[in-house]
A and B are shown apart, each in its own frame.
Chain A
Amino acid sequence: MNNQEKEPLFSARNIKLLTAPLHKDNPITIQVLGICSALAITVKLKPALVMALSVTIVVAISNVVIAALRSYIPDRIRIIVQLVVIATLVIMVDQILKAYAFDVSKQLSVFVGLIITNCILMGRLEAFAMANRPWPSFLDGLGNGAGYGLILVIVAFFRELLGSGTIFGYPVMEKIGIYTTGYENNGMFILPPMALILVGLIIWAQRSKDRSLIEEKQS
């Protein structure tokens, strides 16, 4: 306990907490958490980015709160306590979005509410915050939120570029003048199935680069 208190804020261990989820321990492609709400909102970059930010904020703050309370929470009711903390934070995020970014909040529709049941939250609270101090938990939350956001932004980038020919609403494809060569937007990318296939391809690419991530003996 004592030498932990003397640990510098950005020790090697803490830096690792922050960076591991970006690649080796990515919440979506490796831990398989939080896919539920991840894919539906990746048609356009803007909602995807807002979603990633909201999730990061909620994960980081709830991690801190639970880590600070962890020795006071009775084991048997910990799930309910975690849900209440998460739900409160999500309500705050939802109200803020409604107030300051109403159009994005409309696009996200029910998926803001679904952050509550986003498995990343429960997963990180159970696996990390219940056993660690607030500061590492905060970094862990930030890291996981960023890892989640990274995949979201990659998927949204391809879906918006290939599906609607824009990036953040800016008509890239039109400016290049590619339409005159007979190129057309692929409407398939706007529809749900391509999101799944894209994530599958991202996983494929990531695992062929880093073969230690390959799953053994599974279908």
Chain B
Amino acid sequence: MENLLNIFIKGIFVENMIFAFFLGMCSYLAVSKTLKTSFGLGIAVVFVLVITVPVNFLIENYILKKGALAWLGKGFADVDLSFLSFIVFIAVIAAIVQLVEMVIEKFSPALYNSLGIFLPLIAVNCAILGASLFMQEREYANIAEATAFGAGSGVGWLLAIVGIAAIREKLHYSNVPDPLKGLGITFIITGLMAIAFMGFMGITL
């Protein structure tokens, strides 16, 4: 349990998707103009990460990894399909995003309307594929750990985009040098936020 909590907290603060790995920067920069929409996108990212990381974990461990097909019989014991992982992961993500979209539309039209356009975009958000690839690289021991990692990364991403959106809303009233307006100042603020997040480096529970 402690281990799971540790992975979760680490995903949020220490190994924050945006501040430590720059993943999901495209939508982070494009959608962070208002607080409300960025919160919606953040929630959607958490949602999709919590589902895709464990699913990809199962696929990785029971189908793709070297020797993972051993449950099929002796002849499959040394089949190594790991070179297929990129294409399989991205297909799984695209399919799950589609599925999540349909489920939400059916059961919660209100949530669907507020997430609306963001859901399909998530399929090509680097944070999602990045989380699956990190999960593969770090070799989590079981599905619970993978889920905790997915949830942690998602919440960390949510935190980052909500933070930057709040700051950008305030920035409307400040006098930024013309050439720095928009993208430039956003980058520099993100850098400063990343420096702040470095303060969490090394914490374990």
Is the Cβ of B180 less than 8 Å from the Cβ of A114? no
CB-CB contacts below 8 Å: B114-135 with A: 123-130, 133-134
* A53 at the B interface (CB under 8 A): no
| Chain B residue at smallest Cβ distance from A210 | B179
Q: Which residues of A contact B171 (CB under 8 A)?
A: 219
Q: Give bound CA distance, A119 to B130, whole Å.
A: 13
Most buried by B among A35, A39, A83, A201: A35
Given A110-B134, A219-B168, A196:B86 Cβ within 8 A: no
* B172 at the A interface (CB under 8 A): yes
Interface residues, chain A, with chain B CB atoms under 8 Å away: 29, 32-40, 79-80, 83-84, 87-88, 90-91, 94-95, 109-110, 113-114, 116-119, 122, 191-197, 199-201, 203-204, 206-208, 211, 213-215, 218-219
Q: Give bound CA distance, A94 to B133, whole Å.
A: 13
Q: Which residues of A contact B26 (CB under 8 A)?
A: 32-36, 119
Of B29, B86, B125, B178, the residue contacting A35 (CB under 8 A) is B29
Is the Cβ of B124 less than 8 Å from the Cβ of A219? no
Task: Tell me whether chain A's interface is mostly helix, strand or loop, or mixed.
Answer: helix
* B188 at the A interface (CB under 8 A): yes
- Interface CB pairs A-B, < 8 A, 24: A34-B26, A36-B25, A39-B25, A40-B21, A87-B90, A88-B87, A91-B84, A94-B86, A109-B137, A113-B89, A113-B129, A116-B90, A116-B129, A117-B125, A119-B26, A192-B21, A193-B19, A196-B187, A197-B191, A200-B180, A203-B184, A207-B180, A214-B181, A219-B172
Q: Give bound CA distance, A99 to B94, whole Å.
A: 29
Is the Cβ of A114 less than 8 Å from the Cβ of B23? yes
Q: Which residues of A contact B123 (CB under 8 A)?
A: 79
- Tell me, rounded to whole Å, the shortest Cβ–Cβ distance linking B90 to chain A: 6
Given A87-B90, A110-B134, A114-B23, A32:B184 Cβ within 8 A: no
CB-CB contacts below 8 Å: B70-91 with A: 83-87, 89-91
Of B22, B125, B172, B180, the residue contacting A192 (CB under 8 A) is B22
Q: Give bound CA distance, A2 to B26, whole Å.
A: 39
- Tell me, rounded to whole Å, the shortest Cβ–Cβ distance linking A25 to chain B: 14
- Tell me, rounded to whole Å, the shortest Cβ–Cβ distance linking A202 to chain B: 9
Is the Cβ of A204 less than 8 Å from the Cβ of B29? no
Of A87, A109, A118, A201, the residue contacting B86 (CB under 8 A) is A87
Q: Give bound CA distance, A118 to B181, whole Å.
A: 25
Is the Cβ of B87 less than 8 Å from the Cβ of A200? no
Interface residues, chain B, with chain A CB atoms under 8 Å away: 19-26, 29-30, 33, 83-87, 89-91, 94, 123-130, 133-134, 136-137, 168-169, 171-172, 176-188, 190-192, 194-195, 198
Task: Tell me whether chain B's interface is mostly helix, strand or loop, or mixed.
Answer: helix
Q: Which residues of A contact B29 (CB under 8 A)?
A: 32, 35
Q: Which residues of A contact B176 (CB under 8 A)?
A: 219
Of A32, A84, A204, the residue contacting B180 (CB under 8 A) is A204
List 19 extra interface pairs beyond A35-B22, A40-B21, A79-B94, CB under 8 A.
A33-B26, A35-B25, A35-B26, A40-B23, A88-B87, A91-B83, A95-B83, A110-B133, A113-B89, A114-B133, A193-B192, A195-B22, A200-B191, A204-B180, A207-B180, A218-B33, A218-B181, A219-B168, A219-B171
Most buried by B among A80, A84, A200, A207: A200
Q: Which residues of A contact B94 (CB under 8 A)?
A: 79-80, 83
Q: Give bound CA distance, A194 to B129, whole Å.
A: 24
